[in-house]
């Protein structure tokens, strides 16, 4: 219906992608290191990490902003995707590890006689790649089935998801859980024949992250415009009406919950080779809460919002961690409170919010103009104040 | 030949933490009938609708639909799929969706997840929606968000959603609340025009409205049927005057 708006969106997305996958990598690869235009390897790596967080944020928003399900366990699925690829990366280290064994270092250290059976298929990249989406997806399927069938809603759902991720976190901390305990999986060397320690591989991973954000964005954009997306928002606004309109709301919630777990898993899989480590702290409850903060700051219920929120908050975080490292948690908390109290639409909603304030002020000055039943989205044309003067 | 019952409730009881909301209720309704249910506050009118639509389960008793389907074992969306639609007391529409989208979501048809991913609004469906929009007087507001509609308009939209569903049995809880007199009359006309093709239960307080639409009235009191009959019969019934109309006359 809104054709020009859609065209503008495509244009912006194309421009952002072009900058993301052509301009920034070129500025990283070609200018001399001391040049003003040069982007350091460190920065490219950091941007790649932010973008995987953006993927996680979109998955939070599809649940929270679009379906009204505040999942506080999304980082669990992110971490599971990360672990799945991390296992493959561990097995590619081969004899280059500290102990020069075929077994990953931590297994030698903990005295494993041989590779545990569930590790064996992770020698194949394709298996690990499938596990990246299927493991989070399956867990979400089982958990979601039980939760939604029992009609667990609202804050109870949030608490349960948080308990789930906390439980998983404690489990992964155990050395006998075969995933490296609190050290996690690290010291990767190769991925698909590329040396992970070179700038060009990291650049490639960064480009993959941009493409993943784009793909997830496009998918979510499609999903939310289908009838499914309409039912999704209907569940958020009035679940009763949905039930009494013949929709099995639980099935719709389950579907979107599983899809979001898979999306988060993909983000985690690209996070791990860029950061070089995955450990249980990634599924800590606070990580999921952080993702909720990104979405709230960026703009809940939009798809651009989570991307902007994830990048902006994390950029600010890495700046703050260097400048005033002790205060980050307090700053983040304050950011969240401010966003919830004063910016309900987040960064993305700011222009509309400011326009609304301006209009209110104008209406206050010219009370004649207050139109009952006026649609929220309709902006008063600029000529109106003149007409009001004539009245 | 005897007409088929669209709805039979027999020996229905429902207690909410000690309070007997429905007590040994028996209720029969013919196919195509327009039945009005009245009763003082707390008489169990809305609870009765809750029991029919699966929102709550009766402690004892049976509720049968079309003489074959037992409703008490089914949940909300299963009951809906048998052809029972409900309008809530407070208008319940999707406030963030446009009026048009509200009707799209209510149109009869598949309710499956995978169907919803690829479903498109066909030209026939679009025509049907605009026909309904004309009936409910919202044709010029198709692209408005439902949340900005006036209270009465929301009521109509919700009635329109029932029309879109093409339900066999419509349960309409206080349709005239919040409407102007003129709108109320139009709502009554609309309901009358639907009777026959659909079976309708209307719960209402407004006696002028009841007089307009009612051929047969059932009076509920303390969770059980006090009496039924025409408006005049009911209004002259001594028991009814005592518990309900008499009390309001005294004011």
Burial A30-57 (b: 16+ CB within 10 A, else e): eeeeeeeeebebeebbbbbbbbbbbbbb
Q: Nearest Cβ partner of A244 from B53, B115, B119?
A: B53
> Can you say whether residue A252 is alpha, beta or left, with left for phi > 0 and alpha for psi between -120 and 50 degrees?
alpha
How many distinct structural domains can be found in chain A? 2
User: Nearest C-alpha of chain A: how many angstroms from B79?
Assistant: 8
Percent of residues, chain A, with pLDDT higher than 70: 93
Interface A–B counts its CB contacts (< 8 A) at: 87
Is A12 a domain residue?
Answer: no
> Quick check: B116 contacting A, CB < 8 Å?
yes
- CA angle, A369 as apex, A363 and A374 as ends, to 5°? 95
A20, A206 contact by CB (below 8 A): no
**Main-chain phi, psi angles of B200, to 5 degrees:** -135, 135
What pLDDT sits at residue A75? Answer: 93
CA B7 to each of CA A145, A246, B173: distance values in angstroms, whole numbers, following the listed order = 34, 19, 17
Q: What is the Cα–Cα distance from A122 to A109, expressed in whole angstroms?
A: 20
Does residue A253 have a pLDDT over 90? yes
Is B230 a domain residue?
Answer: yes
Contacts of A203 (CB under 8 A, 6+ apart): A25, A28, A29, A44
CA B209 to each of CA B70, B87, B179, B249: distance values in angstroms, whole numbers, following the listed order = 32, 17, 11, 18
For residue A373, the chain B residues in CB contact (below 8 A) are 148-150
Does residue A37 have a pLDDT over 90? no
Is B27 a domain residue?
Answer: yes
> Quick check: B216 contacting A, CB < 8 Å?
no
Q: Which long-range contacts (CB under 8 A, 24 or more apart) does B99-102 make?
A: B99/B133, B99/B138, B99/B141, B99/B142, B99/B143, B99/B144, B99/B145, B99/B146, B99/B149, B99/B157, B100/B129, B100/B133, B100/B142, B100/B143, B101/A230, B102/B146, B102/B157, B102/B160, B102/B161
Is A295 a domain residue?
Answer: no
What pLDDT sits at residue A55? Answer: 94
Domain shared by A375 and A277, yes or no: no
Q: What sign for the dihedral angle of Cα A99, A101, A107, A113?
A: negative
Longest CA span, chain A: 90
Is A16 a domain residue?
Answer: no
Is B240 a domain residue?
Answer: yes
What pLDDT sits at residue A367? Answer: 61
Question: Quick one: pLDDT band at residue A256, thresholds 50, 70, 90?
Answer: very high
User: Nearest C-alpha of chain A: how many angstroms from B241?
Assistant: 35
Find, among A190, A213, A214, A194, the residue nearest to A204 by Cα: A194
Domain shared by A171 and A91, yes or no: yes
Mean pLDDT computed over A210-225: 92
Domain shared by A136 and A226, yes or no: yes
What pLDDT sits at residue A267? Answer: 94
DSSP B245: I
Is A6 a domain residue?
Answer: no
Does residue A388 have a pLDDT over 50? no
Domain that holds residue A90: 22-282
How many other β-carbons are positioned within 10 Å of the β-carbon of residue A112? 15
A310, A50 contact by CB (below 8 A): yes
Is B110 a domain residue?
Answer: no
Domain shared by A270 and A385, yes or no: no
- CA angle, B39 as apex, B33 and B44 as ends, to 5°? 90
With an 8 Å Cβ cutoff, are A246 and B81 in contact?
Answer: yes
Domain that holds residue B239: 5-94+166-250
What pLDDT sits at residue A63? Answer: 93
Mean pLDDT computed over A334-342: 88
For residue B113, the chain A residues in CB contact (below 8 A) are 228, 251-252, 255
User: Nearest C-alpha of chain A: how many angstroms from B3?
Assistant: 28
What is the CATH number for B28? 3.40.50.300
Helix, strand or coil, per DSSP, at residue B229: strand
Regions of chain B short of the pLDDT cut 70: 1-2, 244-251
**pTM for the full model?**
0.85
With an 8 Å Cβ cutoff, are A252 and B116 in contact?
Answer: yes
User: Nearest C-alpha of chain B: how many angstroms from A227?
Assistant: 5
pLDDT digits (tens, 9 = 90+) for A93-136: 877 777 777 788 788 777 778 888 888 888 888 999 999 999 99
Is B101 a domain residue?
Answer: no
Find, among B96, B53, B13, B133, the residue nearest to A300 by Cα: B96
Is B104 a domain residue?
Answer: no
With an 8 Å Cβ cutoff, are B77 and A247 in contact?
Answer: yes
User: Nearest C-alpha of chain A: how many angstroms from B126?
Assistant: 14
Q: What is the Cα–Cα distance from A226 to A233, expressed in whole angstroms?
A: 11
Q: What sign for the dihedral angle of Cα A202, A204, A205, A207?
A: positive
A262 by Cβ neighbours in 10 Å (0-12 / 13-18 / 19+) ranks as: buried
Is A180 a domain residue?
Answer: yes
For residue A237, the chain B residues in CB contact (below 8 A) are 94-97
For residue B115, the chain A residues in CB contact (below 8 A) are 227
How many distinct structural domains can be found in chain B? 1
Mutation site for B-interface testing, chosen from A246, A255, A302, A376 by largest number of B Cβ within 10 Å: A246
Helix, strand or coil, per DSSP, at residue A278: strand
Q: What is the Cα–Cα distance from A103 to B135, expressed in whole angstroms?
A: 73
Orientation of helix A125-149 relative to helix A74-93, angle to 10°: 160
Is A340 a domain residue?
Answer: no
Find, among A229, A224, A255, the residue nearest to A140 by Cα: A255
What pLDDT sits at residue B177? Answer: 79
* Minimum Cα–Cα distance from B80: chain A residue: A246
For residue A223, the chain B residues in CB contact (below 8 A) are 117
Does residue A165 have a pLDDT over 50? yes
With an 8 Å Cβ cutoff, are A237 and B97 in contact?
Answer: yes
Mean pLDDT computed over A244-250: 88
Is A311 a domain residue?
Answer: no
What pLDDT sits at residue B244? Answer: 65
B214, B231 contact by CB (below 8 A): yes
Find, among B174, B200, B175, B197, the residue nearest to B186 by Cα: B175
Domain shared by A59 and A177, yes or no: yes
pLDDT digits (tens, 9 = 90+) for A51-103: 999 999 999 999 999 998 999 989 999 999 999 999 998 888 877 777 777 78
Is A327 a domain residue?
Answer: no
Window 86-115 of B: residues touching A by CB (8 A cutoff) are: 86, 88, 92-97, 101, 104-106, 111-113, 115
């Amino acid at each position: 219906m809104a054709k020009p708006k859609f065209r503008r969106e495509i244009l912006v997305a194309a421009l952002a992608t072009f900058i993301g996958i052509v301009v920034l990598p070129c500025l990283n690869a070609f200018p001399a290191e001391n040049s003003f235009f040069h982007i350091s390897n460190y920065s490219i790596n950091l941007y790649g990490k932010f973008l995987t967080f953006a993927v996680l944020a979109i998955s939070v928003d599809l649940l929270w902003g679009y379906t009204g399900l505040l999942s506080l366990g999304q980082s669990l699925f992110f971490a599971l995707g990360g672990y799945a690829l991390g296992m493959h990366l561990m097995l590619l280290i081969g004899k280059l590890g500290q102990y020069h064994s075929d077994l990953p270092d931590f297994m030698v250290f903990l005295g494993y006689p041989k590779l545990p059976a569930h590790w064996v298929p992770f020698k194949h990249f394709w298996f690990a790649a499938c596990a990246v989406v299927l493991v989070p997806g399956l867990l979400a399927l089982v958990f979601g089935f039980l939760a939604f069938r029992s009609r667990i809603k609202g804050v109870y759902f949030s608490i349960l998801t948080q308990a789930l991720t906390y439980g998983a976190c404690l489990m992964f901390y155990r050395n006998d859980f075969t995933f490296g305990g609190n050290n996690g999986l690290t010291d990767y060397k190769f991925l698909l024949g590329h040396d992970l320690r070179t700038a060009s591989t990291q650049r490639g991973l960064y480009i993959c992250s941009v493409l993943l954000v784009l793909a997830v964005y496009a998918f979510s954009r499609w999903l939310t415009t289908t009838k499914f997306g309409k039912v999704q928002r209907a569940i958020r606004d009035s679940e009763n009406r949905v039930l009494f309109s013949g929709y099995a709301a639980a099935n719709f919630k389950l579907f979107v919950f599983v899809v979001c777990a898979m999306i988060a898993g993909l983000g985690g899989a690209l996070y791990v080779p860029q950061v070089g480590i995955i450990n249980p702290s990634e599924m800590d409850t606070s990580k999921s809460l952080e993702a909720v903060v990104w979405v709230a700051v960026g703009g809940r219920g939009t798809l651009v919002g989570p991307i902007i929120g994830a990048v902006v908050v994390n950029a600010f975080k890495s700046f703050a961690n260097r400048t005033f490292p002790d205060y980050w948690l307090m700053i983040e908390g304050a950011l969240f409170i401010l966003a919830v109290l004063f910016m309900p639409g987040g960064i993305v909603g700011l222009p509309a919010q400011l326009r609304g304030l301006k209009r209110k002020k104008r209406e206050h000055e010219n009370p004649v103009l207050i139109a009952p039943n006026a649609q929220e989205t309709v902006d008063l044309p600029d000529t109106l104040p003149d007409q009001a003067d004539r009245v | 030949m005897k007409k088929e019952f669209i709805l039979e409730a027999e020996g229905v009881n429902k207690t909410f933490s000690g309070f007997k909301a429905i007590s040994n209720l028996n209720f029969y309704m013919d196919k195509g009938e327009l039945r009005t249910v009245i009763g003082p506050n707390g008489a169990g009118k809305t609870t009765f609708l809750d029991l029919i639509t699966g929102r709550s389960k009766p402690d004892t008793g049976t509720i049968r639909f079309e003489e074959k389907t037992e409703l008490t074992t089914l949940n909300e969306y299963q009951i809906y799929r048998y052809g029972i639609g409900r309008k809530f007391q407070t208008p319940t529409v999707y406030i963030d969706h446009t009026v048009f989208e509200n009707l799209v979501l209510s149109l009869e048809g598949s309710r499956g997840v995978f169907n919803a991913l690829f479903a498109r609004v066909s030209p026939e469906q679009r025509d049907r929606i605009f026909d309904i929009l004309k009936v409910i007087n919202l044709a010029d507001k198709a692209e408005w968000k439902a949340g900005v509609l006036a209270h009465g308009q929301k009521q109509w939209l919700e009635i329109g959603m029932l029309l879109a569903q093409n339900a066999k049995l419509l349960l309409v809880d206080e349709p005239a609340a919040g409407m102007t007199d003129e709108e109320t009359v139009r709502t009554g006309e609309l309901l009358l025009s639907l009777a026959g093709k659909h079976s309708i239960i209307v719960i209402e307080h407004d006696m002028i409205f009841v007089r307009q639409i009612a051929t047969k009235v059932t009076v509920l009191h303390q969770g059980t049927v006090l009496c039924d009959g025409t408006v005049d019969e009911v209004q002259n019934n001594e028991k009814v005057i005592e518990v309900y109309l008499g009390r309001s006359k005294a004011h």
